[in-house]
Amino acid sequence: MYTMPMMELRNVSDFFKGKTILVTGATGFLAKVFVEKILRVQPDIKKLYLLVRASDPYLATQRLHNEIFKKDLFRVVQDKWGADFGSFICNKVVAVAGDVSRDMFGLIDVKLSQEMLDDINIIVHSAASTNLDERFDVAMGTNTMGAFNVLNFAKSCRKIEIILHVSTAYVCGPGEGLVAEEPIHMGQTLNNSPRLLDINLEKHLIKEKLSELHAQNANEETITKTMKEFGMIRANLHGWQDTYSFTKAMGEMIMGNMKDNLHLIVTRPTMIVGTHSEPFPGWIEEVRTIDFLIAAYCKGTLTSFVGHSEIVLDTIPVDMVGSKLERISDLYKPYFLFQGIFDDKNAEKLRIATKGVPGMNKEFNFDPKAINWKDYMMNIHFPGLVKYSIRSKM
């Protein structure tokens, strides 16, 4: 995590009191956990705008109820409010139909847009395409141009205080040793190429490749396959291991270079796994990151996979941050054999600075050293994975 600049330290719950917050990618794994946390520990927020992909407000509201508030994750908040849970959500939460890949999120409700621009204090940008080999055009639209559109929207917000941009630790690319926690500069590459990375050129190449495919009357399957391969080629050319980390890195470049006077925090979690303790241990959604291989091993379809006995597998429980098996193994190999050690001095400074702040250790603990990892994996994560993901798919 790095900050630009560090916000004044205070009780976190108090900071969010009376604030209006926009969360992008609201139906995503990490965003759900953030939303639950806010509603549970600080119900006195003014408003929570949740941006979801939908063609109209009705469908956006349906997605929120079906994909967020009906989840077992919210049972603690539901128990707290009882019969009033529905009215509490209606009073605090607004479903926003939009898409971060479009200018001003493609909002068509003028009144709602104006209310958001007038009232929003905090933006949590969590929307992302997390498939490692996503189509290059899709990943660029969400991970790179999404950051650009969020930044432009924030600049139009009259009361904006801070933007929290959720990135990934793997924007650093493959490597060994201590990985410095530093901003990625515009045009920076990871392979010491004398030629700077040009985001506009990458956008042009995407447009050119799609035009070429359409001219050939390529079917959707061919277009998808070609654009996935093209993304990996462009990522590797500049030193990144996959399309996901490449497009997230470009998103960081845009955020850092174009933020002007906005207060920006970029957080770079590693591989996110199930909850450690809040709102209860073991909750996870779907099979994700390392769990593709764990699930395959549990089902007996994968008997072993490549690893290194002396390398730390860098994961983090979500409550502390929201094809073929051969293909999956190959895709995730850079993460399982990653030999870098992430520098977390900024997070450590924050942990030290918040010692003694009321409620921090109990409600906002984010120190992974406090976790008994063997106990967490064996008694919390694995059972949670089986209960919430593997068993539901069988």
Residue with tokens 């409700």: 109
Catalytic residue chosen out of the listed positions 244, 332, 376, 388: 244
Hey, how many other C-beta atoms are within 10 angstroms of the C-beta on 165?
24
The token pair at 339 is: 């030999």
For the chain, the first-to-last Cα distance in angstroms comes to 38
Quickly list H helices, the chain.
Answer: 12-16, 29-41, 57-64, 75-81, 85-92, 110-119, 136-139, 145-156, 199-215, 220-238, 243-258, 291-299, 325-336, 345-353, 360-363, 373-375, 382-385, 391-393
Distance CA 208, CA 137 (A): 11
Contacts of 370 (CB under 8 A, 6+ apart): none
- Which helix (H) or strand (E) segment is 22 a member of? strand 20-24
In sequence order, the β-bridge partners of residue 161 are none
| Cα–Cα nearest to 335, from 361, 359, 306, 374 | 306
Distance CA 152, CA 162 (A): 13
Distance CA 207, CA 173 (A): 25
Apex CA 36: angle with CA 107 and CA 291, to 5°? 95
Contact 179, 341 (CB under 8 A): yes
Q: How far does CA 231 lie from the centroid of its chain?
A: 20
Distance CA 324, CA 374 (A): 29
Peptide bond into 43 cis (omega under 30): no
The token pair at 334 is: 């850079």
Distance set, CA 175 to CA 239, 346, 373 (Å):
10, 21, 25
Catalytic residue chosen out of the listed positions 248, 332, 376, 388: 248
Contact 290, 267 (CB under 8 A): no
In sequence order, the β-bridge partners of residue 2 are 266
For the question of residue 244 being annotated catalytic, the response is: yes
Residues classed as catalytic: 244, 248
